[in-house]
Amino acid sequence: MSLQLDLAIETEATEEDKKAIEWIGKALRAAVEAEQLPPVEVSVTIVDNGAIRQMNKEYRKVDRPTDVLSFPLWDPEEEWVIAEEEEAVSLGDIVISLPKAKEQASEYGHSLERELGFLAVHGFLHLLGYDHETKEEEEEMFQRQEEILGRIGLQR
């Protein structure tokens, strides 16, 4: 089980922010392990509220900033087909608003590491087909997120 992570920071980030952002890779590797996936590739982009607001407006028709957006490239209904053992399955893209993550970390009284890990895993599970449209789906998805974050010590 392995993860190819393409991480881009497209907003101002302090050294402290960058250290917190490193937890995204740890959280996603824990998610790949927990889900027992073959080698996968994921792109994560860290942006500001203006950029995520524009994407949210364009893709979801919601004209406000949000914390995380997921853009799946893989269909959860498909079988895992790997052409070569070393070839990773490209799952898609995750976009996270750094200012929104900081705001929510403060609001919820936990670390920026915890919030970024949560948002990354949340976006990742969406790439795998998890959703939270119903109460049952929400409970399953949020329980899975907490289980994954617990593996790396990012509990609430």
| Whether the Cβ atoms of residue 42 and residue 127 lie closer than 8 Å to each other | yes
Residue pLDDT, tens place only, 80-113: 655 555 678 899 999 999 999 999 999 999 999 9
Annotated binding residues for Zn(2+):
122, 126, 132
User: Packing angle between helix 112-127 and helix 15-34, nearest 10 degrees?
Assistant: 40
Can you list the alpha helix ranges (DSSP code H) found in the chain? 15-34, 49-60, 98-108, 112-127, 135-151
Residue 77: per-residue pLDDT: 72
Report all structural domains of the chain as residue ranges with CATH numbers, in order of start. 3-151 (3.40.390.30)
Quickly tell me which residue has 């509990």 as its tokens: 155
Annotated binding residues:
122, 126, 132
Least confident segment among 23-27, 33-37, 84-88? 84-88
Nearest to 74 by CA among 82, 63, 86, 66: 82
